[in-house]
Amino acid sequence: MNDTPLFAGFDDLLAQALAGALGPDPAGLYAVGAFWVRQSTQFPGTTQKYRNYYLVLRVDAAFGACCLEPGQLDSAAAEALSGSDLASLLRDERLAVRVAALDAYLAVIRPHREAASAQALWLPLGTPLERARVRDAAIASLLRIAPGQKVGLIGVVNPLVEAIADQGGLCLPCDFAMQRTANGIAVVREMEPVLDQADLVIATGMTLSNGSFDRILARARQRRIPLLIYAQTGSAIVPRFLGQGVAAVSAEPFPFSQFSADPTPVWLYRTP
């Protein structure tokens, strides 16, 4: 059972953090480091290039991260954030800053390694593609996809498309930055038809940074369909909704798997 109160969505969770209802006053915690990362990935033999931009905050022994939409936050913006207390950052007018700050706050007060419901999956030493395939197979297995089930995929990663197909699921991909998956499935830009048709939904934590997370959560609650979030963005945020519309979480805190070839953990959560 989830031992946390019911949160309506991201803004409600953030308000509870600011009010001190989740733990210590965020005004007493500081972002001692802040950085902006620009990174791209293209697997051999493919034409799809993934372009990623991140804001990362270092707070005590934890990191908070937010993957950005292109142009969402200037690369120099992070320079001004270090030294700020988290209460100030949680009130920042920029959504990406609020997401990274809340992620850092929750990662400090309840690390994945101390969460009773979290299971560590250690990605093996290997190439980016080998590690991505292990991670995405584990993500797909969290929901036990039945053959023929329609799986909405909001935020497309090709190894995850493959993992869904390997379980016999019918992938319904949705993404702003892709027209077709590597195996030729048409990708739609609008998520509402996907949310209406899917038997279950897998979405990226980046839905926090583009503001669509609350809508996806509300629709999953309304339709009573399983929702899995695979999160680099907000890896400490999304587990707070476990059992509250979110059925499972793959939480990958910074440093992310693509930044290392050595074994690194992904934390898997599943409702009973």
* Percent of the chain residues past pLDDT 90, beyond the cut: 76
Q: What is the mean pLDDT of residues 237-248?
A: 96
222 pLDDT more than 90: yes
How is domain 10-111 classified at the architecture level of CATH?
A: 2-Layer Sandwich (3.30)
Please name the residue ranges forming H helices in the chain: 10-18, 86-90, 95-109, 128-141, 158-166, 192-197, 206-209, 213-223
Tokens encoding 67: 């993957």
Q: What is the mean pLDDT of residues 225-240?
A: 97
- Asked whether the beta carbons of 216 and 201 are under 8 A apart, the reply is yes
5 pLDDT more than 60: no
- pLDDT of the residue at 176: 86
What is the fold of 113-270?
Rossmann fold (3.40.50)
Q: What is the mean pLDDT of residues 214-225?
A: 97
Q: What is the mean pLDDT of residues 165-194?
A: 92
> Three-state SS for 192?
helix
181 pLDDT more than 70: yes
272 pLDDT more than 80: no
Looking at beta carbons, which pairs linking 6-15 to residues 24 or more positions away fall under 8 Å? 6/244, 7/240, 7/241, 7/244, 8/214, 9/213, 9/214, 9/217, 9/218, 10/99, 10/102, 10/208, 10/213, 10/214, 10/237, 11/214, 13/102, 13/237, 13/240, 13/241, 14/90, 14/98, 14/102
Residue ranges of the chain assigned to CATH 3.40.50.11590: 113-270
User: Nearest Cα to 92, choosing from 55, 60, 61, 37?
Assistant: 55
What digits encode the pLDDT tens for the residues 92-101?
999 999 999 9
pTM over 0.95: no
Rounded to 5°, the CA angle 91-93-94 comes to 110
Q: What is the mean pLDDT of residues 166-179?
A: 92
Residue ranges of the chain assigned to CATH 3.30.390: 10-111
- pLDDT of the residue at 75: 87
CA 234 – CA 64 distance, rounded (Å):
7
DSSP state of 114: G
CA 98 – CA 153 distance, rounded (Å):
25
What digits encode the pLDDT tens for the residues 11-52?
999 999 999 999 999 999 999 999 999 999 887 888 878 889
Between 2-16, 124-138, 231-245, 253-267, the lowest mean confidence (pLDDT) is in 2-16
Q: How confident is the model at residue 178 (pLDDT cuts 50, 70, 90)?
A: confident
Task: Select the more confidently predicted residue: 143 or 148.
Answer: 148
Q: What is the mean pLDDT of residues 266-270?
A: 96
- Asked whether the beta carbons of 46 and 181 are under 8 A apart, the reply is no
191 pLDDT more than 60: yes
In which residue are the tokens 């120099």 written? 76
Backbone angles phi, psi at 107, to 5 degrees: -70, -30
Beta-strand pair 62-67/50-59: antiparallel
